[in-house]
Amino acid sequence: MVSMRHECLVDLFKNRPSLAAEMLAEVLRVALPSYSEARVVSVDLTETQPAEYRADIVVLLLDHAKPVRVIIVEVQLQKDEDKRYTWPAYLTVSRDQHRCPADLLVVAPDPVVASWCAAPIELGVPGFVLRPPVLRRDAIPVVTDPAEAARRPELAVLSAMAYGATEDGATIAGAVLPAIQALDDERARLYYDLVYNSLNEAARRALEAMMKGYEYQSDFAKKYYGQGRVDEAARAVLTALRVRGIVVPDATRERILAEKSPECLERWHERAIVAASLAEVLGEPS
């Protein structure tokens, strides 16, 4: 079954077709011809054979409308022995369909899976060996420059997914989030969720402190940060109260969980960290 993480990674390459070529050339040092356009084409690589061949993404590089290279992008999150047979088929069929050389790019974030993907595939004919180029997690560029994130938001989101839980996570996210605001509504919602859910708790706190009073006060933040995170923010308030040893009656617990204002929940959370009583947190007279 295809996972949500698999689909999200596929979407990054689909939304920016040139990302596949950029990763091959910049990270894996694959020599590519000059091109003027990168276009996603049909993923159906079936011809007359009864088996159905469907790659994750097929990107066609064109130079003034002439195909110069086709790139098969495969997101691989686990070992799959079938790929040892289908990857060579993808390359030969796509090469025939588009009448130009073909490349393979395997995106494998897990180190063990990446090593498996990179193993040479012997095709049987002497000299015919496929050595899959694999984009490993630690090879993904670390994007901390807001200008670079704005120029290539998909690469910046990929960077956040790879390193969000590291010490660089908050800095990467801080560069990515302003760039996301300039995107269309659907992409912005997806990318924000991908970035935020890639951060560990420490990175989230650092990011929130970094962005407070700046980008997070925009309409974008109220729409995405507010709508999608109010339940989580409410639970954070209750967690802070529990850690401080402040007893919360059931009625008050329900009131906190029912609160829909991100600004109010943030205010309660800040008070809960230092307050001595529940009344101080909620701003009520004792």
Q: Do residue 103 and residue 145 come from a single domain?
A: no
Last residue of a domain, which of 181, 212, 243?
A: 212
Average pLDDT score over the chain: 84
Q: What is the mean pLDDT of residues 35-61?
A: 74
Q: Do residue 238 and residue 187 come from a single domain?
A: no
Last residue of a domain, which of 212, 231, 264?
A: 212
237 or 12, which is more confident: 12
Q: Do residue 62 and residue 148 come from a single domain?
A: no
**Do 175 and 152 meet the contact criterion of CB atoms below 8 Å apart?**
no
Q: Do residue 208 and residue 226 come from a single domain?
A: no
Q: Is 218's pLDDT higher than 50? A: no
Sheet with 134-136: strands ordered across: 37-41, 57-63, 66-75, 102-108, 134-136
Q: Do residue 111 and residue 12 come from a single domain?
A: yes
Q: Do residue 244 and residue 274 come from a single domain?
A: yes
Last residue of a domain, which of 95, 121, 139?
A: 139
Q: Do residue 104 and residue 11 come from a single domain?
A: yes
Q: What is the mean pLDDT of residues 37-63?
A: 74
**Do 23 and 105 meet the contact criterion of CB atoms below 8 Å apart?**
yes
| 42: helix, strand or coil | coil
Residue with the two structure tokens 């402190």:
209
Total number of domains in the chain: 3
CA distance linking residue 31 with residue 107, whole number of Å: 18
- Print the domain residue range for 271: 218-286
pTM for the model:
0.69
Q: Do residue 150 and residue 48 come from a single domain?
A: no
Please give the DSSP secondary-structure letter assigned to residue 50: S
With CA atoms as reference, report the closest residue to 6 among 52, 51, 73: 73
Q: Do residue 92 and residue 129 come from a single domain?
A: yes
Q: Do residue 25 and residue 129 come from a single domain?
A: yes
Q: Is 280's pLDDT higher than 50? A: yes
